[in-house]
Chain A
Amino acid sequence: MTDQDPDRQASSQPEPAGEFQEIEHTADLAIRVRGEDLVALFVHAANGMFHLLRCRPVERPAESVERDMELDAPDLETLLVDWLDELLYLSQRAGLCFETFDIHTLDDQGHLKATVHASGSQTPQRDIKAVTFSDLRIVQQEDGAYETTITFDV
């Protein structure tokens, strides 16, 4: 058994107010994400995904992992899926949760450069199979902030 009182643990890490919010989906998982700019939107989306992965402390911390990432996509929605896909892949390969996302470049031409970091102290307790494009649209609000809803296949 990996968790003694997991029902309680499942809700022990609150969603940071204003960054992302889990929304109802009958079968899969979905989050609504908001960011004051595109960089914040992408960071909050990554935080939201690792929230859904239910990261928990590991008994014996592993070595930390740091990766540089460079992505190019034809549009921002595809870039967002690529970004989360890449993080999901790195996380599943290392069996670790990533906690720090330093985005150096992100432009609306679909180019992203970032350094991501996993301390080695957290591991996912849930599988996400994939990040989907389902109804994915990044929308700029009247106040200039960006919002989107992302659906994950579990």
Chain B
Amino acid sequence: MVNPQDLQRLSPYLHEIPQDWREDMRVPARLYASEAMLEDIATDRSLEQLINTATLPGIVGHALAMPDAHQGYGFPIGGVAATALPDGVLSPGGVGYDINCGVRVLTTSLDADEVRPQMNALMDALSSQVPVGVGSSGALRVSSQELQDVLRDGAEWAVRKGYGLRRDLEHTEDGGRLDAADPAKVSERALERGTDQIGTLGSGNHFLEVDRVSEVYDDEAAEAMGLRLNSVCVWIHCGSRGLGHQVCTDAVRAMQSAMKKYDITVPDRELVCAPFSSPEAQAYFAAMACAANYAWANRQVIAHSVRESLMRVFGSKVRRDDLPMLYDVCHNIAKVERHTVDGQEMELVVHRKGATRAFGPGHPDVPEALRELGQPVLIPGNMRSGSYVFLGTERGMADTFGSSCHGAGRVMSRTQARKQVRGQTLREELEQAGIVVRAGSMSGLAEEGPHAYKDVNLVVDVVHEAGIARKVARTQPLGIMKG
């Protein structure tokens, strides 16, 4: 058990668990948090899970936890771990079951004042266009042949089919397509689960939100991203649905036996892994890339439905070109990237589980239009306080493999959250605050209420003050849609 007083304070926002804390650690573990947040983080098993992550064969630098860290399975949520190629390990549990769960933001030329009177109509239009909730399906059904194209080409497939604009791809992490995808590595069961869930949101913490820009911290950067004070934007949070869950389930199961073969032991079986160059890891990487591409196709089709809804409700006030994508980030993924570790440039596989890539200014993977500024980082907060748009920094590149937090981070179990507030009461409170709510399940709404999350303002302050990404704007909800 790690207590807050066991952590070494490196700065007001960075704390370290030294490598000799436990004999199986291969690197130190580092946690980004304010002093006040440490007590909360120590109440669950996130620090123990972070230490477990520090034992992965081939890990370099530090095992990292972002300020939204909380207990997960295997890795903590908010965890980042990089292993050195070719023999550092790849861990499917270090990506998670919702492969390429991520966030996409569309900006609009509309002002909140003109949208507010139409919010009910807009939320109705979105509800009719985007299936949401338990087992949601049916927005779009593809043949098994076409599914292969989706898995290979991701968001590019969707744009080719008319669900979006070419420009959208430039503003999507990796262009919305990972080259490593090989549909032959995806199981029949995963394929079966993928045929009818493109364009659906799902349930749990996934959401679709219509927000207004409520604060701007950097005028120039915000303008370049299409964020004007009081302008309206749309947030989409979802992932690879049943196909992605199945890909991870298959890989975690398949790698259990690979562990013996490669003589790897891990402190938690969910950290199951294999050397990146091994056939087992390569097979998972190719299947994971397919699931990631599926998730990008999913968010691309949902973005198309959002544009259709906005055009239906606001008529000639908006054209498709007036609804550009700010960016699309994934926050459950493993990527091959080059980073400098201890002064040496290395090729690494970076696991981000509940963490967002945050590349700094000038990086070639940042869209050209924003390259001088850095990569946009999209941080959803909660359904009352809103969300943040950040930019990646040089400091993040040096200290966190170019990574930032992915949200506010839960602080309370689902049972506790339901005990503290009734879904109906929360809905009424939100509506009194002028937020239109569409929710399939009142208990699901209560489980995901603002009270179940850390204070997002404090979480993002840690990221900003530590310098691993920087604040550009805050947005607050006008309408939310939940499963």
Query: Which residues of A come within 8 Å of B, CB atoms?
Result: 1-3, 5-7, 9-11, 22, 24-29, 54, 74, 77-78, 81-82, 85, 89, 92-93, 95, 124-127, 129-136, 151, 153-154
B71 partner residues in chain A, CB cutoff 8 A: 25-27
Distance to closest chain B CB from A11 (angstroms) = 8
Q: Which of B97, B246, B272, B440 has the largest number of chain A CB atoms within 10 A?
A: B97
Closest A-chain residue to B445, C-beta based?
A6
B77 within 8 A of A: yes
Query: Which residue of chain B has its CB nearest to the CB of A82?
Result: B253
Indicate whether A25 sits within 8 Å of B413 (C-beta atoms), given known contacts A129-B97, A136-B269.
yes
What separation, in Å, do the CA atoms of A9 and B446 have in the docked complex? 13
How distant is A65 from chain B, measured CB to nearest CB, in Å?
15
Residues of B within 8 A of A127 (CB): 134-135, 202-204, 483
**B269:A133 contact, CB within 8 angstroms:** yes
Cα distance, A115 to B71, chains bound together (Å): 35
Known: A6-B441, A153-B97. A24 touches B413 (CB 8 A): yes
Tell me the complex Cα distance, A6–B440, Å.
11
CB pair B410 A27 closer than 8 Å:
yes
- What CA separation (Å) do A68 and B35 show in the bound complex? 55
Task: Give Cα distance in the complex from A6 to B97, angstroms.
Answer: 27
Residues of B within 8 A of A5 (CB): 424, 442
Query: Closest B-chain residue to A81, C-beta based?
Result: B253
Contact B443 A134 (CB under 8 A): no
Taking A26-B71, A133-B270 as known contacts, 16 extra A-B pairs with beta carbons closer than 8 A to each other, sorted by chain A number, are A2-B133, A2-B441, A25-B71, A26-B411, A26-B413, A29-B414, A78-B256, A127-B203, A127-B204, A129-B245, A132-B252, A133-B74, A133-B252, A133-B256, A134-B93, A135-B270
CA distance A132 to B98 in the complex (A): 13
Given contacts A29-B414, A130-B97, contact A6 B135 (CB under 8 A): no
| Cα separation A28 to B192 with both chains bound (whole Å) | 25
For the complex, what is the distance from the CA of A77 to the CA of B443, rounded to whole Å?
Answer: 31
* A151-B73 contact given A7-B422, A7-B442, A126-B444, CB 8 Å threshold: yes
What residues on A are CB-neighbors of B202 within 8 Å? 127
- With a cutoff of 8 Å between Cβ atoms, the chain A residues found around residue B97 in the complex are 129-130, 132, 153
CB distance from A24 to the nearest CB of B (A): 5
Residues 228-278 of B at the A interface (beta carbon under 8 Å): 242, 245-246, 248-249, 252-253, 256-257, 268-270, 272
Of the candidates A2, A28, A136, the one whose C-beta lies within 8 Å of that of B72 is: A28
Which residues in A have their C-beta under 8 angstroms from that of B443?
Answer: 3, 6-7, 9-10, 54, 125
A95 vs B138: C-alpha distance in the bound complex, in angstroms? 14
Interface of A is mostly: loop
Query: A135: which B residues are within 8 A, CB to CB?
Result: 268-270
Interface residue? B44 (CB, 8 A): yes
Collect the chain A residues with CB atoms within 8 Å of residue B77's CB: 27
Q: Are B135 and A134 in contact (CB under 8 A)?
A: no
Q: How far does the Cβ of B206 sit from chain A's closest Cβ, in whole Å?
A: 10
- Asked if B175 is an interface residue, CB under 8 A from chain A, the answer is no
Closest Cβ neighbor of B268 among chain A residues: A135
Query: What are 29 A-B contacts with C-beta separation under 8 Å?
Result: A2-B133, A3-B441, A3-B443, A6-B443, A9-B443, A11-B418, A27-B70, A27-B71, A27-B72, A27-B77, A27-B410, A29-B414, A74-B257, A77-B269, A81-B253, A82-B253, A85-B253, A89-B189, A92-B135, A92-B193, A124-B134, A126-B203, A127-B202, A130-B245, A130-B249, A133-B74, A133-B252, A133-B270, A134-B74
State the Cβ distance, B422 to closest chain A Cβ, in Å.
4
CA distance A4 to B51 in the complex (A): 44
Residues of B contacting A151 in the complex (Cβ-Cβ under 8 angstroms): 73
Q: Are B98 and A129 in contact (CB-based, < 8 A)?
A: yes
Q: What is the CA–CA distance of A126 and B418 in the complex, to the nearest angstrom?
A: 14
Asked if B94 lies at the interface with its beta carbon under 8 angstroms from chain A, I say no
Contact B257 A26 (CB under 8 A): no
B70 interface neighbour in A2, A9, A26, A124, Cβ under 8 Å: A26
Known: A28-B72, A125-B441. A134 touches B270 (CB 8 A): yes
Measured CA separation A134–B252 after assembly (Å): 11
Chain A residues near B189: list those with CB within 8 A.
89
> Which residues of the other chain, A, contact B93 by a CB distance below 8 angstroms?
132-134
Question: Is B412 a contact of A26 with CB atoms below 8 Å?
Answer: yes
Minimum CB distance partner of B244 in chain A? A129
